[in-house]
Structure 1
Amino acid sequence: MKPQALTKAFTLNALLLALLGCNSDSNNEDVNPVEPPTLSEQLVSQIEDSVEGGTEALLLPDPTDYESIPADPNNPITAEKVALGMMLFHETQVATAGVNGSTTNTWSCASCHHVAAGFKSGVVQGIGEGGSGFGVAGEARVLMPNFDGQSTDPTMKPDVQPFASPSILNTAYQEVMLWNGQFGNAEGGKVNSGLAENVLAPEGTPKFENLRGFAGLETQAVAGTKVHRMNTFDGSVLQNNAEYQMLFEAAFPEGSYDYLEEAGLAMAAYERTVLANEAPFQRWLAGDDAAMTDQEKRGALLFFGKANCVSCHAGPALSSNVGASSDEMFMALGFADLDTSDPHVTGIVTVNDSKGRGGFTGNPDDDFKFKVPQLYNLKDTNVFGHGGSFSSVRQVVMYKNAAVSQKRLSADVLDTRFVPLGLTDEEVDDLVAFIEEGLYDADLHRYVPTATPTGACFPVADEQSKLDLNCAD
């Protein structure tokens, strides 16, 4: 029985008893007492009270139901684009624009967003060029010798970012990308509309790609190929591999005029279909009452009730509602930045990096606000927060339960919802169970190719990674 039907059945039962003059004080031994609502009935009622549109509004579509997946109108999702994008996202042979010739063809987009870590990186700071090793879930990837970020030699500069790598999972549900939302300028978009062009698209920076007029995923994919030292132009594998040529012709039958843009559009179409729609909570929403355990249901009741997690984590991805404003998508909760004293972290965190959204927009009201992340498949990694300052879901829940900022920020800067939750130890256990297990899709490998057109190893292909992955190209 679907959650909506559970609510209706419970309500109709109570109404029928009332009409018959039955109540809990009746001395009529032939009348059965009203059964208390089940956990599922309580959860349906709680969701109906706290979520506009109720349980239906939280359902993720099937990944092949392209019409139901939020998309950029200038980049409609097609099966052909998705097929091409999945290959490009995992292809290490496009990594030929690096700073050091010895590292060529050793990284891909999936190096920092791979399935083994729930499409995050598996380490606090993702590494593209300059990385070695993988381990089981990316946890063993480290910088190569001399790629320590300290050298002034430009050929030894690793490809790292001043933030932890966010997941691509369920990203179709947010209009702009990156922790500060700097990518995204689609027609009709709300989040970055009104920003001056010199803020939105300064020439000579990756943000200049915002002038293409696409949404966040599309813009990030275009900008990211250049930022992460990949070659999509003449002479790349995209022009020289027959299978890639066929995939491009199928995805863009009008003919390729801009391989960089079209590669980005294809990867964005693929990313939009990477949805955790088989998680227990999603199956429960679809009508499988046994999909979640009682503990997970109690945790969900807290999520949508007492803990009020839903006030920040909304929509099907539990990130933001489609059409969310900037104020609804970015919040200051005092999470710490990357710890540059950590030997696993290289580079610096600038003042603007630390300010998050405010560092991008220049608006002091946006200072220290970061994008609300999606919550599915978190247990695939031990890196949480834009600065990787937490190592477990439990730590994040305990942090929000105590509401004591990691950063030294004044109370007027922190979000008004950042207040102690008053959860007991048992309630923390239940909430963690819901997030870790109820929101866990165990089959994300359906979004990974068995091989790319080149046959190369992926998501990384340096010699140590090949050993870790048992891969030989």
Structure 2
Amino acid sequence: MAFLLAGTAAAQDVPRPLTDSDFIPFDMEQAAIGHQLFYDPILSGNQNISCAHCHHPDFGTSDGLSLGIGEGGQGLGPDRTPGVGADKIRKRIPRNSPGLWNLGARDIHTVFHDGRLSISDVYGNGFNSPAQEWLPEGLNSLLAAQALFPLTAQFEMAGNVAENQVTGAVHDRIDKGWPILAKRVRTDPRYGPAIVAAFDGVETTEDITITQIANALAAFMAVEWRSTDSPFDQYLAGDDSALSPAQKDGMDLFYGKARCATCHSGPLMSDQEFHALALPPFGPGRTRQWDPYARDVGRMGESNRLEDAYRFRTPMLRNVALTAPYGHNGAFPDLDSMIRHHLDPVGSFMNWAPQTAALPDVPWLQKADFVIWQDQIEMQRVRNKIDIAPLDLSDAEIDSLVAFMHALTGTSVDTPPFGVPESFVP
């Protein structure tokens, strides 16, 4: 979360309710295919991890970890282990796994913590993405484009170089792995005929490409994790009794004194901009080619602008109470500690302890987990780049803000259209 941007004192108006018109319509037959693909390891290089391992509904469509255990790990959620032998992980996922709520909204134009994927015509295909001009054509949404990139990420789903055809192809060029995955899917009797039936213009299984796979995944995620029925949503729709007194107090603080809505603005509760909060750094970082191993400069890694250093995208807040831990690297375990960090970033930074992070034990990575702390210059850079102003709130006011965060949890999150398939094996 990114509260309290300096220089804004005026109270913010509560947003209008979200309606059907705020969301892209998706085909339910395509969503049903995406549902199966999302939980199927067929889309990973070594066929040992699925999208659901890092985005599971039991953990609010995240994984309950500060930094995830990707390709090579075993198990699910906070109990996931780093694997053994030759298959064990070589690196933690550099950033916290974000929740997937309401990503089918029309107004979303930028995704990922550093905004490296956005709506743009810079490459003539509708998107500014790591694939540049090699992004496939025919994608139905920003969400479909987003679904493509974990498949090409070495430590997320692709696997290590020389382990399989997919990661070897990606090593040559980012788009070279997608046709290999598409062939797997179209030659699978569970998927090939179903995709032909669900997609116009696909006459035979030979016509299936990664585009249909990405579009099916997007349809599923958009349908499954659309959330617009929280107590707060009910309040916005006119039900004054939907919020408890504490939640109403928290809402008043959120849109008033606490200035949370400066960044968490609008119906989606995000300005989709980038702000530096001085979160304590740890883990491998999402490094650039010339960076030290552990460094993570945030938005600057995409924009190459020095002023963007250590800034990260404002997350949306529907169901935020379900998606702990918090921050781009999961530095804070609960809403209370995350809010307190916003109130006093420097003090929180100085008092943060490594045991606060939810990191499964990985002995062979232990020395690297906090090696960044030995670089006092880098630590000072992170600590000095703060876009928010300190603010004094009482413990009671913080409790009210936490109560309001819980009022953002949808009432139907436990009864989604599809649910976890019985065939899913963590």
Alignment of 1:296-307 (within 5 A): 296-307=247-258
> For residues 73-126 of structure 1, what are the alpha-carbon distances to aligned partners after superposition, in whole Å with 9 as ceiling and x for unaligned?
xxx63233323222222223x14522xxxxx4x421111011111111111222
Letter in 2 for 1:311: T
Q: How does 1:58-457 map to 2 (within 5 A)?
A: 59-61=17-19, 65=20, 67-69=21-23, 71=24, 77-92=26-41, 94-95=42-43, 97-98=45-46, 104=47, 106-134=48-76, 138-146=77-85, 156-157=88-89, 160-171=92-103, 172=105, 173-187=107-121, 209-210=134-135, 212=137, 216-227=142-153, 228-229=157-158, 233=181, 235-242=183-190, 244-255=191-202, 257-273=207-223, 274-320=225-271, 329-337=273-281, 339-340=282-283, 347=284, 349-350=286-287, 354-404=296-346, 406=349, 408-409=380-381, 413-415=385-387, 418-435=388-405, 437-447=406-416, 449-450=418-419, 452=421, 456-457=423-424
Shift of 1:409: 3.6
The ranges of structure 1 where at least 4 consecutive aligned residues each deviate by more than 4 angstroms after the TM superposition are 155-160, 205-215
* Stretches of structure 2 lacking an aligned partner (at least 5 in a row): 1-9, 159-165, 167-177, 350-378
Identity of aligned residues (%): 27
Distance 1:387 1:348 in 2: 9
In structure 1, give the amino acid aligned to 2:236. L
Instruction: Specify the SS of the correspondent of 2:64.
Output: coil
Question: CA shift at 1:140, angstroms?
Answer: 0.6
Q: Pick closer, same or farther for the CA change 1:119–1:378 going to 2, 3 Å.
A: same
Q: Secondary structure at the match of 1:391?
A: coil
Question: CA RMSD for the aligned pairs?
Answer: 3.2
Matched letter for residue 456 of structure 1: S
Please give the secondary structure, in 1, of the residue aligned with 2:249.
helix
Measure how far apart 1:259 and its partner are: 2.4
Q: Which amino acid in structure 1 is aligned with residue 152 of structure 2?
A: K
Structure 1 counterpart of 2:244, which letter?
T
What secondary structure does 2:229 align onto? coil
Instruction: Give the TM-score, by structure 2 length.
Output: 0.73
Structure 1 gaps, min length 5: 1-47, 99-103, 148-154, 188-192, 341-346, 466-473
Aligned to 1:6: none
Max Rg structure: 1
CA deviation string 1:244-271 (max 9, x = no partner)? 3343134312106342121112212332
TM-score after normalising by structure 1: 0.66
Structure 1 position 185, deviation (Å) = 4.0
Q: How far did 1:299 drift?
A: 0.3
Q: Using a 3 Å threshold, how does the CA distance of structure 1 residues 366 and 96 change in structure 2: closer, same or farther?
A: closer
Partner Cα distance (1:156, 1:412) in 2: 37
Please give the alpha-carbon distance, in whole angstroms, between the structure 2 residues aligned to 1:314 and 1:97.
39
Equivalent residue pairs, number: 352
